[in-house]
Amino acid sequence: MTVNISVTINGTTYQKDVEPRTLLVHFIRDTLGLTGTNIGCDTVQCGACTIHMDGMAIKSCATLAVQADGSQITTIEGLAKDGELHPMQQAFWDNHGLQCGYCTPGMIMAATKLVENNPGITEEEIRHGLEGNLCRCTGYANIVKSIKAAAQAMGGGA
């Protein structure tokens, strides 16, 4: 069985037949070739696959592609606009918020929404907000620092 779905990702609308069992993350990575969204676990813990769907940060490994039918999605590839990095991307670069880079797309996508939803976000709120994103390299110190800096740049910040 296949189902025809239509999903708008980073401004482009894709219409595809998918097997219902196809996970959204596999649809994005394998069907569409947008490989910036990573997979780091198989139990919905690590957050590497975080994307924005209809304005919210979600984990694309726990969502079926058929559930995304008709939705608007942004992946890490669509975050920068007109060749200019998103302030969150810039902040991760400026503050050494990444090392191996594997958790980074998910971190950036999750963090972007944390700040958008809470412009005056505090360090404690940032740390709590990263409950669903694991990083094995940085010890989180520079990730927290990056998000704080981005919150400032995005017009808020505690």
Partner 1 sequence: MYPSKFDYYRAGSVSEALSLMQQHEDAKLLAGGHSLVPVMNLRLATPPVLIDIGRIGDLKGISSVGGSVKIGPLTTHAMIEASADVPALMSQAASGIADPQVRNRGTIGGNIAHADPASDWPTVLTALGATINIAGSNGERSVGATDFFQGLFETSLEENEIITSISVPSHGEGTGSSYAKLFHPASGYAIVGAAAVITMSGGQCTGASVAVGGLTECATKAPSVEAALTGKALNEATIAAAADAVAGDLTGDILSDFQTSAAYRKAMVKVYVKRAVSAAAGI
Partner 2 sequence: MGNYIGKVVKRVEDPRFIQGKGRYIANLNLPGMSYAAIKRSPHAHANIKSINVEKARNMEGVIAVMTGKDLAESGLGTLPCGFTPPDIKLPPYPALAIDKIRYMGHGVAVVVAESRYLAQDALDLIEVNYEVLDAVVDAKKAREEGAPQVHEETPNNTSFYWPIGDKEAVEKAISEADHVVDLNLINQRLVPNAMEPRAVVAQWDDFSGEMTVWTTTQNPHVIRVLMSAFTLFIPENKLRVISPDVGGGFGSKIFHYPEEIIIPWLSKALNRSVKWVSLRSESFVTDAHGRDHVTNCKLALKSDGTFTGLYVSIHANMGGYLSLFAPMVPSALCLTLLNGIYTIPAIYGETYGVMTHTVPVDAYRGAGRPEASYMVERLINIAAQELNMDPLEIRRKNLIQPDAFPFQTQVALVYDSGNYPGLLDKAEEVSGYQAMRAAQKQARGEGKLVGIGVSTCIEACGVAPSKAVISLGAGVGLWESGSIRVHPTGMISVFTGNHSHGQGHETTFAQVVADELGVPIENIEVIHGDTGRSSMGLGTYGSRSNVGMAALSKTAEKIREKVIKIAAHQLEASVEDMVYDQEKGEIHVKGSPDKKKAFGEIAFACLTAHELPDGMEPGLEETSFYDPENFVFPNSAHICLVEIDRNTGEVEIKKYTAIDDVGKVINPMIVEGQIQGGIAQGVGQALWEHGAYDDQGQLLAGSMMDYAMPKAGKLVDYQVDRTETPSPHNPLGVKGVGEMGTIASTVSMANAVMDALSPLGIKHLDMPLTAEKIWNAIQNSGS
Interface with partner 2 (CB under 8 A): 19, 21-22, 26, 29-30, 33-43, 45-46, 48, 75-77, 79-80, 85, 89, 92-94, 96, 98-105, 108, 123, 126-128, 130-131, 133-144
Spatial distance between the Cα atoms of 3 and 154, rounded to a whole number of angstroms: 39
Among residues 37, 38, 50, 71, which is the contact residue for partner 1, using CB under 8 A? 50
Q: Look at residue 102 and give the partner it binds from partner 2, partner 1, none, a contact being a CB closer than 5 to 8 Å depending on partner kind.
A: partner 2
Two tokens at 3? 């189902």
| Cα gap 97→83, rounded to integer Å | 21
Distances (CA, A) of 33 to 21, 27, 73, 157: 18, 8, 15, 35
Three-class secondary structure assignment of 89-138: HHHHHHCCCCCCCCCHHHHHHHHHHHHHHCCCCCHHHHHHHCCCCCCCCC
Considering only 13, 15, 33, 43, the residue that binds partner 1 (CB under 8 A) is 43
Closer to partner 1 by Cβ: residue 1 or 83? 1
Residue 99 binds what, of partner 1, partner 2, none (CB under 5 to 8 Å, by partner type)? partner 2
- The residue ranges that bind partner 1 (CB under 8 A) are 1, 3, 19-21, 23, 26, 39, 42-45, 47, 50, 56-59, 61-64, 66-67, 110, 113-114, 129, 131-133
